[in-house]
């Protein structure tokens, strides 16, 4: 079958730019208004996107209170609400392996898979923001290696819980008084380094078998975790070459583990300002940058580097990598710290220019252009092996998503790169991913008649 793009709408605030919330073209609705998210989900579904996606951070930074819109809705609750008003679009939410229990999360995602009739995905993150630990009874966050070790054990438990019901376990036989077959529901008694969990789950197997496993950490440890488990990878690259190298590395790592590399869908972010001319598109970034608050940018930059203080640096002198701690030792957002220091080494921006770049899309690829130029970049990345599709990150919502769906998507279709209509019902189906085998009950082919 012809290879086609996978497109995911990353919904973030009133748009991905840090100051989008103030822009006149941004939604007038509150971040707590379900109608805002329903509108975006329907737009994405009308455009036949694979999925919509919500990130999640378990802390509010002080500067964000005054200067940024961060108070949205809790993602899993939101997915449940959105599942009822949509029919086809995939629904992906972030949840942390560092600050919840695997039983809770397995149960929530299994429930969402039923509620949505097989359309959910879990973006597995370990939570890089150090301050989150203080919301969960810990003075200091675990280091990056420990977080991933915990994530490994967490995932082992969650997949066991999802597999603890065979597809044919439920009889619901009122006449004979048999609800489920005890031999098809498994207690497994997991004893791992972090978790002791007996099982089984108290929710029957969902329509997708397991929700789609999405992963979004790209450090060395993150890549190895992704190669073992991820079915979709969200990642951030400022350069096509870096994205090609990343995808090649992941595919090689996955193949080395006996996985089919086609079963790993890699989606870098793209934040495109779209205008009638390149200059008009660039004006969108300029307007947004003018109203960005440097204190938000500085605090977020500091947080990504695990609390390093950049506030003494002048805003208008060219930066050098010596102004940054070495990313290899960063315990917070390590891979993003690498993206940022690579950018500094390459371009020597001033701090003000760097903060503008990061205000736009936090280290994801950004561009300004006409719909043709945006489609050209997408096609070039896709054909060169930099991406299997994209996390679409409109700078302003919904205005710039409207521009993407009405002007860029038709071009991608004309080039044969994107679907005209859905041909499947589930998120796995949209992504072309098989249902993973059940580790306790073998191939799930047998269905009771
Ligand atoms: C598109 C995308 C979305 C992400 N969303 C979140 C999120 O919501 N919460 C979070 O803690 N980390 C999120 N991350 C992952 C962090 O960037 C990552 O875990 C962090 O950088 C530390 O891990 P790493 O160094 O392995 O990348 C996201 C990453 C990407 C590419």
Express each pLDDT in 214-267 by its tens digit: 999 899 999 999 999 999 999 999 999 999 999 999 999 999 999 999 999 999
Atom of ligand 1 nearest to the CA of 269: 1
Tell me the pLDDT tens digit for each residue of 174-191.
999 999 999 999 999 999
Contacting residues for 352 by C-beta, under 8 A, at least 6 apart? 294, 315, 316
Q: What is the average per-residue pLDDT within 340-348?
A: 97
Per-residue pLDDT tens for 58-103? 999 888 888 877 678 999 999 999 999 999 999 999 999 999 999 9
Quick check: CB of 333 below 6 Å from ligand 1?
yes
Task: Tell me how far the alpha carbon of residue 49 is from its chain's centroid.
Answer: 14
Beta pairing partners, 365:
270
Q: E strand or H helix at 337, and its extent?
A: helix 334-347
Q: How far apart are CA 224 and CA 153, in angstroms?
A: 14
pLDDT at res. 62: 85
Give the ligand 1 atom nearest the CA of 57. Answer: 9
Question: Residue 99 in 3-state DSSP?
Answer: coil
So what's the pLDDT on residue 112? 98
Q: How big is the CA angle at 96 (ends 253 and 187), to the nearest 5 degrees? A: 85
Q: How many residues does the chain have?
A: 449
Q: How far apart are CA 206 and CA 167, in angstroms?
A: 8
What does pTM read for this prediction?
A: 0.96
- Domain ranges in the chain are 6-431
Query: Is the CB of 127 inside a 6 Å radius of any atom of ligand 1?
Result: yes
79 C-alpha to ligand 1 centroid (Å):
19
Q: What whole-number distance in Å separates Cα of residue 322 and Cα of residue 247?
A: 29
If one looks up domain 6-431 in CATH, what number appears? 3.20.20.30
Residue 125: CB within 6 Å of ligand 1? yes
What is the DSSP secondary structure assignment for residue 277, as one 8-state letter?
A: S
Predicted confidence band at 445 (pLDDT cuts at 50, 70, 90)?
A: very low
Counting residues of the chain whose pLDDT is more than 70, the rounded percentage is 98
State which of 98, 217, 387 you would mutate to test the pocket of ligand 1, scoring each by most atoms of that ligand within 8 A of its C-beta: 217
| Ligand 1 neighbourhood includes 391 CB (under 6 angstroms) | yes
């Amino acid at each position: 079958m012809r290879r086609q793009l996978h497109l995911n709408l990353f919904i973030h605030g009133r748009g991905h730019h840090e100051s989008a919330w103030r822009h006149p073209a941004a939604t007038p609705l509150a971040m707590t208004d379900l109608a805002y998210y329903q509108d975006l989900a329907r737009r994405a579904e009308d455009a036949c996107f694979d999925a919509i996606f919500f990130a999640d951070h378990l802390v509010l930074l002080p500067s964000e209170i005054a200067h940024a819109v961060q108070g949205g809705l809790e993602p899993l609750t939101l997915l449940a609400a959105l599942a009822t008003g949509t029919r086809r679009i995939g629904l992906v939410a972030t949840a942390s392996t560092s600050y919840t229990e695997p039983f809770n999360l397995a149960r929530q995602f299994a429930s969402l898979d039923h509620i949505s009739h097989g359309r959910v995905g879990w973006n597995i993150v370990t939570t890089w923001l150090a301050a989150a630990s203080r919301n969960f009874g810990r003075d200091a966050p675990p280091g990056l290696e420990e977080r991933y070790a915990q994530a490994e054990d967490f995932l082992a438990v969650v997949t066991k819980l999802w597999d603890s019901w065979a597809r044919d376990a439920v009889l619901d036989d009122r006449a004979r008084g048999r609800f489920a077959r005890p031999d098809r529901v498994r207690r497994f008694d997991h004893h791992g380094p972090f978790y002791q969990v007996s099982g089984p789950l108290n929710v029957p197997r969902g329509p997708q078998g397991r929700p789609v496993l999405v992963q979004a950490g790209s450090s060395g440890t993150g890549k190895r975790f992704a190669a073992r488990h991820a079915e979709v990878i969200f990642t951030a690259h400022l350069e096509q070459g870096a994205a090609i190298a990343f995808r090649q590395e992941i595919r090689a790592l996955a193949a080395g583990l006996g996985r089919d590399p086609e079963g790993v869908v890699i989606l870098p972010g793209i934040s495109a300002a779209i205008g009638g001319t390149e200059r008009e598109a660039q004006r969108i970034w300029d307007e947004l940058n003018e109203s960005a608050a440097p204190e938000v940018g500085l605090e977020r930059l500091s947080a990504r580097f695990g609390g390093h203080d950049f506030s003494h640096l002048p805003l208008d002198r060219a930066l050098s990598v010596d102004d940054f701690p070495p990313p290899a030792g960063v315990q917070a957002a390590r891979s993003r710290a690498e993206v940022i220091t690579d950018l500094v080494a390459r371009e020597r921006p001033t701090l003000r220019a760097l903060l503008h770049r990061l205000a736009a899309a936090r280290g994801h690829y950004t561009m300004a252009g006409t719909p043709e130029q945006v489609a050209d970049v997408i096609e070039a990345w896709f054909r060169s092996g930099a991406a299997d599709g994209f996390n679409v990150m409109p700078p302003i919502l919904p205005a710039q998503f409207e521009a993407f769906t009405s002007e860029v998507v038709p071009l991608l279709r004309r080039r044969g790169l994107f679907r005209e209509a859905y041909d499947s019902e589930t998120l796995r189906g949209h992504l072309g991913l098989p249902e993973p085998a059940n580790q306790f009950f073998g191939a799930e082919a047998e269905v009771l008649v």
